Chain A
Amino acid sequence: MESKIICAGFGGQGILSLGKFMVYAGMEQNLEVTWLPSYGPEMRGGTANCSVVLSDKPVASPLITKPNILIVMNTPSLDKFESKVEKGGLILVNSDLIERKISRDDVTVKYISANTIALELGSARSANIVMFGAYVKYGGVVSKDTALDALMHQFEGKKGADSIKKAFEAGYNL
Chain B
Amino acid sequence: MTKKVLMKGNEAIAEAAVRGGCRFFFGYPITPQTEIPEYLSWRLFEVGGDFVQAESEVAAINMVYGAGGAGGRAMTSSSSPGISLKQEGISYMAMAEIPAVVVNMVRAGPGLGGIQPAQSDYSQAVKGGGHGDYKLLVYAPATIQEAVNLMYIAWDKAEQYRIPVFILGDGMMGQLMEPIELPPMKQPNDPEKFDWATTGSHYGEGRRIINSLYLKSEECLQQNYRLQAKYREIEKNEVICETIDCDDAEIVLTAYGSVGRICKSALPILRQKGIKVGLIRPTTLFPFATKVFEEVANKPNVKRFLTVELSAGQYNEDVRLAVNGKKPIDLLSRMGGEVMSAEDIVEKVMEVIK
The answer to whether A and B come from one shared complex is yes
Binds B, one of A61-69, A87-95, A108-116, A117-125: A61-69
| Contact, CB under 8 Å: B175 / A27 | no
> Which chain A residues (1-25) contact chain B, with CB distance < 8 Å?
20, 23-24
Query: How distant is the Cα of A63 from the Cα of B265 in the complex, in angstroms?
Result: 10
Asked if B171 is at the interface (CB within 8 A of a chain A CB), the reply is yes
| Contact, CB under 8 Å: A61 / B176 | no
Query: How distant is the Cα of A27 from the Cα of B180 in the complex, in angstroms?
Result: 11
Chain B, interface SS category? mixed
Q: A63 contacts which chain B residues (CB < 8 A)?
A: 172, 262, 339, 341
With A33-B178, A39-B32, A40-B31 as known contacts, state yes or no: A60 contacts B265, CB within 8 Å: yes
- B 1-43 binary contact with A (CB < 8 Å = 1; else 0): 0001010000000000000000000000001100000000000
Which residues of chain B have a CB within 8 Å of any CB of chain A? 4, 6, 31-32, 115-116, 171-172, 175-179, 261-262, 264-265, 267, 339, 341-343
Contact of B261 among A23, A37, A61 (CB under 8 A): A61
Chain A nearest Cβ from B47, distance in angstroms: 27
Asked if A35 is at the interface (CB within 8 A of a chain B CB), the reply is yes
What is the number of contacts between chain A and chain B, taking CB atoms within 8 Å?
59
| Contact, CB under 8 Å: A39 / B179 | no
| Contact, CB under 8 Å: B116 / A40 | yes
Chain B nearest Cβ from A67, distance in angstroms: 12
Q: A23 contacts which chain B residues (CB < 8 A)?
A: 6, 177
Interface size on A, residues (CB 8 A): 19
Chain A nearest Cβ from B278, distance in angstroms: 15
A-B contact pairs, 28 of them (CB 8 A): A20-B6, A20-B177, A24-B6, A27-B6, A32-B179, A34-B176, A34-B177, A34-B178, A35-B176, A35-B178, A36-B172, A36-B175, A36-B177, A37-B175, A39-B115, A40-B115, A60-B261, A60-B264, A60-B342, A61-B261, A61-B262, A61-B341, A62-B176, A62-B178, A63-B262, A65-B341, A65-B342, A66-B343
Chain A nearest Cβ from B207, distance in angstroms: 49
Chain A nearest Cβ from B253, distance in angstroms: 12
